[in-house]
């Protein structure tokens, strides 16, 4: 039992590094632009390159992870994540920083889905969702605190301080993980290749998660613009409201164990959670709520995502058996692809005040996701 607790602890810290590294750039774009001699808009390319590398590499790394010891991949990815932060500090110019940022994308592509795959290998199926919720708390805290820590470190020390801290913590995590992470010998049959993705129940769940996760996260990322359209809030006040989303995710991660304890299929629980997500998003977009109502919606949106993510990840892990690494990695890539595709479309609709069109997209995406989950339930019985 204690070894399991240590595994979840080090896994949570590892994904914390991923969350904080990915989101801390949002708070320090202007200082980085000055350092590298570019405009702040160009600094966002560091995020884009990271996301593209993550999306393209995840399925390949997942495929490999089902055939070799997952421990080796995880240790390598933690070390790469640390080296990526060191590399940014030592970059002579912005072009080199962009190229080296690929290291971070590759490390995260291996780290996040493979950790959940390893947890699924080690933890009993009845406890997997709650265990994944514990690990996801690390990611959530990274998303919440990453920008705060980065902003403070840059303001009071130097632009490279958050990268240096991430690199040092990464090396410490690598040292501890060396002794804690268990080996994961695979009994996988190599001839099966990517055939597991052709199973209707697995393919439906992957596509469904991409849809509900993509539209929900996209609207959160654009929620600040929606608030600016409807209120006179200052930038700092908008940021405070956006923080409610992170608090909601954290609460969802905390309470997922209680939700999974209910005697009901996890797929049915996921559908019920998505129905709440559907209602929250429609109300938020409608503009019929006051300022407090918008804040409550952001909190509830985070809460539903904090519950839905570990439950759906556990579902995929259980149904994919010996292909967990591949399936969870492909799921992460689909999530990113949907997010990258939706963001410009939703951003355009918000800029043009076409909130009716925004509601139609939410309805279409979430109804399709729920339908796909129903299909996965049907085919999983056969």
The predicted structure's pLDDT at residue 133: 78
Q: Report how far residue 301's alpha carbon sits from residue 316's, in angstroms, rounded to the nearest whole number.
A: 22
Q: Give yes or no for a contact between 203 and 331, defined as CB atoms under 8 angstroms apart.
A: no
- Residue 136: closest CA among 296, 333, 311: 311
Q: Give yes or no for a contact between 377 and 209, defined as CB atoms under 8 angstroms apart.
A: no
The predicted structure's pLDDT at residue 72: 83
174 contacts: CB under 8 Å, gap ≥ 6: 75, 78, 79, 82
Q: How far is CA 296 from CA 163, 231, 242, 292, in A?
A: 34, 16, 11, 6
Question: For domain 2-182, which CATH number applies: 3.30.70.890, 1.20.1250.20, 3.30.9.10, 3.40.640.10?
Answer: 1.20.1250.20
- Residue 116: closest CA among 293, 276, 325, 362: 325
The predicted structure's pLDDT at residue 189: 46
What is the three-class DSSP state of 19? helix
Torsion on CA atoms 61, 114, 313, 147, rounded to nearest 10? -100
Which residue, chain included where needed, has tokens 């009994």?
187
| pTM score | 0.73
Based on the number of CB atoms within 10 Å of its own CB, is 76 exposed (0-12), middle (13-18) or buried (19 or more)? middle
221 contacts: CB under 8 Å, gap ≥ 6: 343
Inter-helix orientation angle 235-260/266-286, to 10°: 160
Fold of 192-380: Growth Hormone; Chain: A; (1.20.1250)
How many CB atoms sit inside 10 A of residue 157's CB?
12
Q: What is the DSSP string of 85-151?
A: HHHHHH-SSHHHHHHHHHHHHHHHHHHHHHHHHHHHHHS-GGGHHHHHHHHHHHHHHHHHHHHHHHH
Alpha helices for the chain (secondary structure H): 2-23, 29-36, 40-43, 45-65, 70-90, 94-122, 128-156, 161-180, 200-221, 223-230, 235-260, 266-286, 291-320, 324-351, 355-380
**Torsion angles phi and psi, residue 72, rounded to 5:** -65, -40
- Indicate where the chain has its CATH 1.20.1250.20 domain(s): 2-182, 192-380
The predicted structure's pLDDT at residue 197: 61
Q: Report how far residue 326's alpha carbon sits from residue 319's, in angstroms, rounded to the nearest whole number.
A: 12
Q: Report how far residue 130's alpha carbon sits from residue 10's, in angstroms, rounded to the nearest whole number.
A: 16
The predicted structure's pLDDT at residue 219: 84
The predicted structure's pLDDT at residue 361: 93
* Tokens coding 329: 């990695």
Q: Report how far residue 144's alpha carbon sits from residue 141's, in angstroms, rounded to the nearest whole number.
A: 5
One digit per residue, the tens of pLDDT, for the chain of length 382 reads: 456 778 888 888 888 888 887 777 766 777 878 888 887 667 767 777 877 887 787 777 777 766 777 788 888 888 888 888 888 888 888 888 888 888 888 888 778 778 877 877 777 777 777 787 788 788 878 877 777 788 788 878 888 888 899 889 989 999 988 888 877 655 444 445 556 566 777 888 889 999 998 888 888 777 777 877 777 766 556 666 777 887 888 888 888 878 877 878 888 999 999 999 999 999 999 878 888 888 899 899 989 988 898 888 888 877 766 667 677 778 878 887 888 788 788 888 887 888 889 999 999 999 999 999 999 888 775 4
- Residue 230: closest CA among 302, 293, 297, 291: 291
Measured in whole angstroms, how far is the alpha carbon of residue 356 from the centre of its chain? Answer: 28
Question: Exposure pattern of 296-313 as b/e (b: 16+ CB <10 Å)?
Answer: bbbbbbbbbbbbbbbbbb
């Amino acid at each position: 039992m204690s070894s399991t607790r240590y595994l979840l602890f080090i896994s949570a810290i590892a994904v914390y590094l991923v969350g904080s590294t990915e989101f801390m750039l949002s708070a320090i774009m202007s200082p980085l632009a000055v350092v590298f001699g570019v405009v702040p808009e160009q600094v966002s390319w560091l995020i884009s390159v990271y996301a593209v590398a993550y999306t393209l590499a995840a399925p390949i790394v997942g495929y490999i992870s089902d055939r070799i010891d997952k421990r080796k991949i995880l240790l390598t990815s933690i070390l790469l994540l640390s080296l990526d932060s060191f590399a940014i500090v030592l970059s002579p110019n912005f072009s080199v920083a962009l190229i080296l940022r690929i290291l971070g994308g590759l490390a995260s592509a291996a780290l996040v889905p493979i950790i959940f795959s390893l947890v699924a290998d080690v933890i009993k199926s009845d406890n997997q969702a709650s265990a994944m919720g514990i690990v996801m708390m690390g990611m959530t805290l990274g998303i919440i605190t990453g920008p705060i820590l980065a902003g403070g470190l840059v303001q009071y020390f130097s632009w490279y301080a958050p990268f240096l801290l991430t690199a040092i913590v990464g090396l410490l995590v690598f040292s501890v993980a060396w002794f804690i992470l268990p080996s994961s010998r695979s009994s996988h049959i190599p001839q099966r290749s990517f055939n597991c993705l052709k199973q209707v129940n697995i393919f439906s769940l992957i596509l469904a998660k991409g849809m509900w996760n993509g539209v929900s996260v996209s609207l959160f990322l654009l929620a600040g613009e929606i608030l600016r359209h409807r209120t006179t809030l200052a930038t700092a006040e908008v940021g405070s409201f956006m923080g409610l989303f992170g608090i909601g995710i954290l609460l969802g991660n905390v309470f997922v164990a209680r939700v999974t304890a209910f005697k009901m299929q996890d797929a049915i629980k996921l559908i019920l959670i998505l129905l709440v997500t559907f209602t929250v998003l429609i109300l938020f977009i409608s503009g019929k709520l006051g300022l407090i109502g918008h804040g409550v919606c952001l909190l509830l949106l985070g809460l539903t995502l904090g519950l839905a993510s570990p439950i759906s990840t556990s579902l995929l892990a259980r149904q994919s058996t010996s292909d967990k690494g591949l399936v969870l990695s492909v799921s992460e890539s689909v999530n990113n692809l949907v997010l990258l595709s939706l963001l410009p479309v939703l951003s355009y609709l918000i800029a043009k005040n076409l909130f009716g069109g925004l509601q139609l997209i939410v309805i279409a995406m979430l109804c399709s996701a729920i339908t796909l989950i129903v299909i996965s339930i049907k085919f999983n019985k056969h």
